[in-house]
A = this chain, B = another copy of it.
């Protein structure tokens, strides 16, 4: 039976991390909310009174009887299902640990343009966003990307992947981070990229994988925009 992915239909956002895993894993899946009549189905699972284990927010995944939310949790599950994480406990925990650090970075990338609150328009927090984006460029991107660079460089199995000698969902997510940051902050990332050669090479290597390359060229891959996690505002591009 096909997996059912539920996520806002108009933006890559957090759903994209799940899509990349499904695509690389060659999974049969339906991107429910992008189909006709899909949105009411998603909203019913989100807000319906009879869901015993309701998600807090999209994305969530239906797999048989399971309804799984929280991006990193979905990937923990799909890592096992699709062979996108080591099977042993130490490797599973390490891959998940990296994913949770990526999740922290995703939240901060969002808050760079919405430091006061997601209930307000960007225009109502422009001044605060400028300050936060400055801190993001100066302190946070170097801390995070420097960390992943370090992880790649120390991998005892070589610098091609974050974990071991095969691709995991954490690599796919790091690809999405590099792609998203490159969209949101083209100037800043252009200047910073040379400091993270291993992460940049990983990005290119993931993009060239057969299934991912097909996916990126398809309509299933949503373009970045101005409503999602990664947004381009010239004045925030440090």
A12 in contact (CB, < 8 A): no
A68 in contact (CB, < 8 A): yes
In the complex, are the beta carbons of A70 and B116 less than 8 A apart? no
- Chain B residues in 8 Å Cβ range of A107: 104, 107
Cα(A93)–Cα(B89), bound, Å = 15
Known A-B contacts A77-B93, A93-B77, A154-B52; A100 and B72 likewise in contact (beta carbons under 8 Å): yes
Known A-B contacts A65-B90, A119-B135, A132-B116; A100 and B54 likewise in contact (beta carbons under 8 Å): no
Copy tally for this chain in the complex stands at 2
Known A-B contacts A96-B73, A128-B115; A66 and B90 likewise in contact (beta carbons under 8 Å): yes
In the complex, are the beta carbons of A66 and B54 less than 8 A apart? no
In the complex, are the beta carbons of B101 and A56 less than 8 A apart? yes
- Chain B residues in 8 Å Cβ range of A120: 135
Chain A contacts with B in 84-137, Cβ cutoff 8 A: 89-90, 93-94, 96-97, 100-101, 103-104, 107, 111, 115-117, 119-120, 125, 128, 131-132, 135-136
In the complex, are the beta carbons of B139 and A119 less than 8 A apart? yes
Cα(A155)–Cα(B128), bound, Å = 40
Instruction: Say how far A132's CB is from chain B's closest CB, in angstroms.
Output: 5
Residue in B51, B73, B94, B104 whose CB lies within 8 Å of A53? B94
A233 in contact (CB, < 8 A): no
